[in-house]
């Protein structure tokens, strides 16, 4: 009888120990995956011309969250007119100019890409920021080719929710970009799709189906970014500049808030009420030379 009690006691102790070990491992994994852990770190934004402004607004929110102290750095590598197909060769994984410049600016990698005076200013402004460990990709599948012989329009390869080939090539393109960013030092890669784009729908909106397919693969370092397509479609054209393609100040604010809430949700942090206020000012009317230059200069100053 005594022997049986001893055996039962050892068994119960073993079960509790195993459970405690599992819980400790889960808690450890959760703490390791936290974004807002109080440790200084950098985010790098991988986007195109619609991402010239919202990163600076996101930076302001992150600074306010930390009491005005710069703990989390937002480094903007956005390049005009550069969807995924302009950043990388999705077939070979070879970086193209925007990706190579991003590595030189923010990862201190000598890629051989020519650095302009503007890029040097960005590098100087960010010399004290840590190398990025989190990528925020607001990207698009424009220019990605299909593999079934059908011609893909410039708007992108995904024709519908039932388009298996378009979804497959789109998911692979998103995955390739995420894989390269992870390989170059990003522990987490968030991917969001393009904002609403008049004249290129439904292909732009259909990018979500490729992203859905990719997320089902449950890649450990990959996270889904915010849905910026739905609110910008709903707010069209009020959230857009005169060209009806690029966001105005209010549109950029909506995008920044979406990214802020997405990052907070990752860590299960409630959204502060102060962050939900949208500025009422609108951006200057868009012109390819004047307004893009102004947005880029603000990004440079922010970084």
Is 1 among the domain residues? no
Give pLDDT, residue 277.
77
List pLDDT tens digits, range 134-153: 999 999 999 999 999 999 99
- pLDDT at residue 14, rounded to an integer: 42
Q: Answer whether residue 14 is part of any domain.
A: no
State pLDDT tens for residues 189-200.
999 999 999 999
Q: Are 241 and 195 in contact (CB under 8 A)?
A: no
Helices 97-106 and 117-125 pack at an angle, to 10 degrees, of 40
State how many domains the chain has: 1
* DSSP state string for 98-130: HHHHHHHHHS-----PPPPHHHHHHHHHTTTSP
Residue 23 domain-assigned (yes or no): no
**3-state DSSP assignment of residue 207:** helix
Q: Is residue 123 included in any domain, yes or no?
A: yes
117: domain CATH number is: 3.40.50.1110
Question: Could you list the mean pLDDT of each consecutive 10-residue stretch along the chain, which spans 303 residues?
Answer: 43 39 39 82 96 97 96 96 95 94 84 51 65 97 95 94 98 97 97 96 97 97 98 97 96 97 97 80 44 48 40
| Residue 295, pLDDT score | 46
Q: Would you say residue 178 lies in a domain? A: yes
Residues 6+ apart with CB under 8 A from 233: 196, 205
Which of 244, 245, 239, 241 lies closest to 280, judged by CA?
Answer: 239
Cβ neighbors of 255 (< 8 A, separation 6 or more) are 50, 51, 54, 57, 138, 195, 228, 232, 247
Domain that holds residue 107: 37-302
Q: Quick one: DSSP state of residue 278?
A: P
Tokens 């393009």 locate to 194
Q: Which two tokens stand for residue 270?
A: 């409630």
> Would you state the pLDDT for residue 276?
86
Whether 203 is covered by a domain: the verdict is: yes
Q: Distance of CA 82 to CAs 10, 14, 234, Å?
A: 63, 56, 25
CA distance 193 to 50: 11
* Spatial strand order in the sheet of 41-46: 72-76, 41-46, 132-138, 188-192, 222-224
Looking at the domain assignment, is residue 174 inside a domain?
yes
pLDDT for 282: 42
Residue 29 is assigned to a structural domain of this protein:
no
């Amino acid at each position: 009888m005594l022997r049986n009690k001893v055996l039962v006691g050892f068994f119960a102790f073993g079960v509790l120990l195993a459970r405690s070990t599992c819980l400790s491992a889960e808690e450890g994994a959760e703490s390791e995956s936290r974004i807002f852990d109080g440790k200084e770190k950098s985010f790098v934004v991988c986007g195109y011309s619609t991402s010239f402004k919202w990163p600076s607004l996101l930076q302001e929110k992150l600074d306010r969250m930390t009491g005005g102290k710069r703990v989390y750095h937002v480094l903007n590598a956005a390049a005009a007119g550069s969807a995924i197909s302009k950043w990388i060769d999705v077939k070979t994984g070879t970086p193209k100019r925007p990706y190579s410049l991003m590595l030189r600016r923010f990862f201190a990698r000598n890629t051989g890409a020519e650095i302009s005076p503007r890029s040097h200013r960005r590098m100087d402004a960010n010399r004290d920021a840590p190398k990025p460990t989190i990528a925020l990709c607001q990207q698009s599948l424009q220019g990605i080719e299909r593999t079934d012989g059908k011609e893909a329009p410039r708007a992108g390869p995904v024709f519908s929710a039932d388009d298996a080939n378009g979804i497959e090539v789109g998911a692979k393109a998103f995955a390739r970009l995420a894989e390269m960013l992870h390989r170059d030092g990003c522990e987490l890669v968030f991917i969001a799709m393009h904002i609403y784009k008049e004249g290129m729908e439904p292909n732009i909106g259909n990018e979500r189906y490729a992203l859905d397919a990719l997320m089902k693969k449950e890649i450990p370092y990959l996270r889904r970014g915010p849905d910026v397509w739905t609110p910008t479609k709903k707010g069209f054209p009020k959230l857009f500049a005169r060209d009806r393609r690029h966001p105005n100040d209010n549109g950029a604010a909506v995008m920044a808030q979406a990214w802020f809430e997405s990052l907070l949700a990752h860590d299960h942090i409630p959204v502060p009420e102060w962050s939900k206020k949208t500025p009422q000012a609108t951006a200057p009317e868009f012109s390819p030379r004047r307004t893009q230059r102004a947005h880029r200069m603000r990004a440079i100053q922010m970084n």
